[in-house]
A and B are shown apart, each in its own frame.
Chain A
Amino acid sequence: MTYNTKAEFMAALKSQAEKYSLSFGEMAEDFERHFSEGEENGETESEICAKLGDPVEIVKEYVGENSENVQSSNSNVQNITAGVNRVDSNTGKISGGMITGVILLDLFVLDWAVPTVAALVITYIAVAFAFIVSGIAGIVSAFMPFVADSFTSILFGRAFNVFAGIAVVGIGGIMAVFVPNVIKGFAGVIKAVARLHVRAFAGRKAGF
């Protein structure tokens, strides 16, 4: 609404400013000046009030720009937080945060875990193979007279190399038995990571 006197206008402006906790000092000075400049120009208080407009609308302009700023910074915050959302507890849908998580997991899995585990698997197979081969070599060497006596055969006799060779082949054999399990386990981990990707990027329900 509009007012007829400066006092009414200023009182309404003040109460609106207080409503939004705005400081009234500078605002009051600006409008006081405006009234006196208008009067110098031959306008009446009523005319000036009518042209100034509704104090409610004026205060909204003071607040309006501020609240727009607050809104835009809020939406920035929302954009950022959207990236770290967890799986929605109501729908079970995987959000953008899930994808972020999978990408971070990839950095770990592809850069470190897969090469490391692959190296361990290869080492395991190589060690099993080495045990069997060296064990057999030990046994065979015991029956070959032209082979120079080894340190152990001098100390414990040639029979020791045979028994030691059998033991070493046995250890290698036990390790070899578990090679398929080790490879299966490794493949299982790779498959699980792949499934996680399919789920995350297809936006299906979280399955874990």
Chain B
Amino acid sequence: MNPQLKRGTLELCVLALLSDRDCYGYELVNAISESIHITEGTIYPLMKRLKDEGCITSYLVESNEGPSRKYYSLTDVGRGKLAVQISEWSDFYKSVNKILGID
């Protein structure tokens, strides 16, 4: 799959998963890589950028074994971005399908 296309959709998928419930990094990666092949390490740079943009926040939860888990939570800014991206995705998807002749 085209890396540029994948990069954009990865962000959309992360925002969509977080709109459902708070997740930790490994959880997000697993949920996405079930359906899409991704270079899993790129999720962390993405999370940092989303955090810098104010789309997500993170908090630590102590774990019984190993280090504490870092959960990510969607902010209102993030919800706004998700809504925009869903609408963009939907338009894009319809336009491409129209060109491809897929209904």
Interface residues of chain A, those whose CB is within 8 Å of chain B, are 26-27, 29-34, 36-41, 51-55, 57-58, 61-62, 64-65
**Once the chains are docked, how many angstroms separate the CA of A27 from the CA of B30?**
19
**Once the chains are docked, how many angstroms separate the CA of A33 from the CA of B49?**
18
A37 touches B33 (CB 8 A): no
B69 touches A58 (CB 8 A): no
Task: Name which of B14-22, B40-48, B75-83, B84-92 contacts chain A.
Answer: B40-48
Interface residues of chain B, those whose CB is within 8 Å of chain A, are 24-27, 29-30, 33, 39-42, 44-49, 65-70
B25 touches A33 (CB 8 A): yes
A53 touches B26 (CB 8 A): no
A31 touches B44 (CB 8 A): yes
A37 touches B42 (CB 8 A): no
Which label, helix, strand, loop or mixed, suits the secondary structure of the A interface? helix
A-B residue pairs, 7 tightest by C-beta: A53-B39, A61-B45, A37-B26, A36-B66, A52-B41, A58-B41, A62-B45
Task: Give the contacting residue for A57; candidates B29, B41, B46, B66; CB below 8 A.
Answer: B41
Q: Count the A-B residue pairs with Cβ separation under 8 angstroms: how many?
A: 70
B69 touches A65 (CB 8 A): no
Distance in Å: Cβ of B7 to nearest Cβ of chain A: 9
A61 touches B46 (CB 8 A): yes
Contacts of A51 in B (CB 8 A): 29, 33, 40
Contacts of B66 in A (CB 8 A): 33, 36-37, 39-40
Distance in Å: Cβ of B103 to nearest Cβ of chain A: 36
B65 touches A55 (CB 8 A): no
**Once the chains are docked, how many angstroms separate the CA of A54 from the CA of B3?**
15
B67 touches A58 (CB 8 A): no
**Once the chains are docked, how many angstroms separate the CA of A176 from the CA of B12?**
82
**Once the chains are docked, how many angstroms separate the CA of A132 from the CA of B44?**
92
Contacts of B68 in A (CB 8 A): 33
**Once the chains are docked, how many angstroms separate the CA of A125 from the CA of B42?**
81
A37 touches B25 (CB 8 A): yes
Contacts of A58 in B (CB 8 A): 39, 41-42, 44-45
Task: Give the contacting residue for A37; candidates B41, B45, B48, B69; CB below 8 A.
Answer: B69
B70 touches A52 (CB 8 A): no
Supply 25 A–B pairs (Cβ within 8 Å), ascending by A: A26-B48, A30-B47, A30-B70, A32-B67, A33-B24, A33-B68, A33-B70, A34-B40, A34-B44, A36-B65, A37-B25, A37-B27, A38-B26, A40-B65, A41-B30, A51-B29, A51-B33, A52-B41, A53-B39, A53-B40, A57-B42, A58-B41, A58-B45, A61-B41, A65-B45
